[in-house]
Structure 1
Amino acid sequence: MKQQWRLLLLALGFFTRLPLPEIKDFRQSDLNEAARYFPLVGWLVGIVAAVAVGLLGDIVPLEVAIILSMMATAYLTGGFHEDGLADSVDGLGGGWEKEQALTIMKDSRLGSYGAMALVFTLLLKFESLLHISVTLLPLVLFAGHALSRLAAVLVIATQDYVRDEGKAKPLAHHLSKTSLLLAALFGLLPMLFLSLQLWAAMLPVAVVWIWFSLKLKKRLGGYTGDCLGAMQQLTEIAFYLGVLIWS
């Protein structure tokens, strides 16, 4: 249990800005195994989003509550995934060759492709959430954040890391069966709070996951840390769109 708690703290430290105790004797393999708890981190982020909407929805207009909820999750994660999306789109949109794309993705400056991606995805996320039933919205947020982080874990499990160094380098090793099974459990468990009809919302998630995974394989030969953030954002929005379609 002590080791599992250590792995959970590592996952929280990797994906959030929470003040956490220092992890002593860190090993690269620890973060690799901590991937099993990435969807569980999504539980925390999803709960924050759901609570924000639930509490603020009775005080301010729903539109404002949703924006504040999005701001709360971005603050909690440090905009980690949004930054990954912008960098990935900049690299894939502006680079013709693999090395050129990786160089652009590593550049801290925001390019036109990344800026457009951020604007469009944030607008699409906001509009999607706005049209979901208020009573359903907290559960959808909870499930969406967990499921989308499972999608990122599945990229780690199925592709190779393409940089020689980087923040996600410790995740480069393929996951153990135990880690993959636990990640799937934590990623899918929140779906039990939704009706069986809404389970069909996972279909757009699967379509987006396959499309973006193939693009990464073709253009880069694998993934980077930025690509994991992009996958999380894209599949989260795909899930919300799926809920809109089947609700």
Structure 2
Amino acid sequence: MMRSLLAAIGFLTRLPVPADVFDDERAKAASLAWYPLVGLLLGALLSALAWLLRDTPSLLSSGLVVVAWVALTGALHLDGLADSADAWIGGLGDREKTLAIMKDPRCGPAGVVALVLALLLKFAALASLPVVPWSALLLAPLLARAGLTALFLTMPYVRGGGLGTVLTNAPRGTCFVALAITAGLCLLGGWRGLLALAAATLVFGVWRMACLRRLGGFTGDTAGALAEMVEVAVLVVLALR
């Protein structure tokens, strides 16, 4: 159990974990169920930083929180967002061309624009929220990582030999329990939790449908794009409230 949690932390964040956890295939597969908890851990760290910066001007503190957000995750999902944006536009509706573009390490104009917009919206939303936006910083990464778990449970992984291949063997029952607990935590968050859950569910549903139509499933890049879009959606709806 602990090795699978460490594998999830090591993959989704840049927090140090023992390197040998990645040699355990069972631990890597079981790590999928821990993704929501890793999101909650990330949210707790960001909330702690926001609290430490509570007397800092809101624009500066929001910018520093976004920088820390990127640093803690190693821009893992931002990379997927950029690749997906380039592929969706450059693929022109063709499955094979879309998959090929996603494998290209270069970032095109659409990818750059997607990155700028995502980071800009996160920054603007955080700057519009209270001094220490506890609920937003906890819910956004929690629901984004829960969305990744839900993807592996509800869609085929179409990139043979990709990094996510081992996660297709995750224990489904445990993953469903993790998603149920995530929903329960959102309910405990009151109307903010319900609003965040609704926004995340809508983004998940729309992106899932788009991936099924274009690719017949999902890849690691489209999973990363989902995580970023869920985080942005949750922050924005809570800022608009």
Give the TM-score, by structure 1 length: 0.90
Equivalent position of 1:107 in the other structure: 104
Q: What's the counterpart of residue 235 of structure 1?
A: 230
Report the AA paired with residue 70 of structure 1: V
Q: Which position in structure 2 is the counterpart of 1:9?
A: 6
- Counterpart for residue 183 of structure 2: 188
Gaps of 5+ in 2: none
Query: Following the alignment from structure 2 to structure 1, what is the Cα–Cα distance between the partners of residues 19 and 215?
Result: 34
User: Contact (CA 8 Å) 2:6, 2:21: kept in 1 or not?
Assistant: no
TM-score in terms of structure 2 length: 0.92
Does the CA-based 8 Å contact 2:66-2:122 persist in structure 1? no
- 1:24 offset after TM fit, Å? 5.5
**Structure 1 residues 62, 25: CA separation in 2 closer, same or farther (over 3 Å shift)?**
closer
**Partner in structure 2 of residue 47 of structure 1:** 44
Q: Give the % identical residues.
A: 33
- Secondary structure of residue in 2 paired with 1:160: coil
- How far apart are residue 143 of structure 1 and its match? 1.5
Aligned-pair distance for 1:174? 6.1
Which residue among 47, 55, 75 is the counterpart of 1:79?
A: 75
Alpha-carbon shift at residue 76 of structure 1 (Å):
1.2
- Once the two structures are superposed, residues 186-215 of structure 1 have per-residue CA deviations (whole angstroms, 9 ceiling, x without a partner) of x33543563335512322222111111000
Contact in 2 for aligned 1:33/1:176 (Cα 8 Å): no
Is 1:89–2:85 an aligned residue pair? yes
Contact 2:82 2:112 in 1 (8 A): yes
Quote the Cα distance in structure 2 between the aligned partners of 1:5 and 1:206: 29
Gaps of 5+ in 1: none
**Residue pairs, 1:148-187, within 5 angstroms:** 148-173=144-169, 175-185=171-181, 187=182
Q: Indicate the SS of the match to 2:18.
A: coil
Query: Over the residues paired in the alignment, what is the CA RMSD in angstroms?
Result: 1.9
Q: Displacement of 1:33 after TM fit? A: 1.6
Aligned partner of residue 23 in structure 2, secondary structure: coil
Q: How many residues align?
A: 240
The 3-state SS of whatever aligns with 1:172 is helix
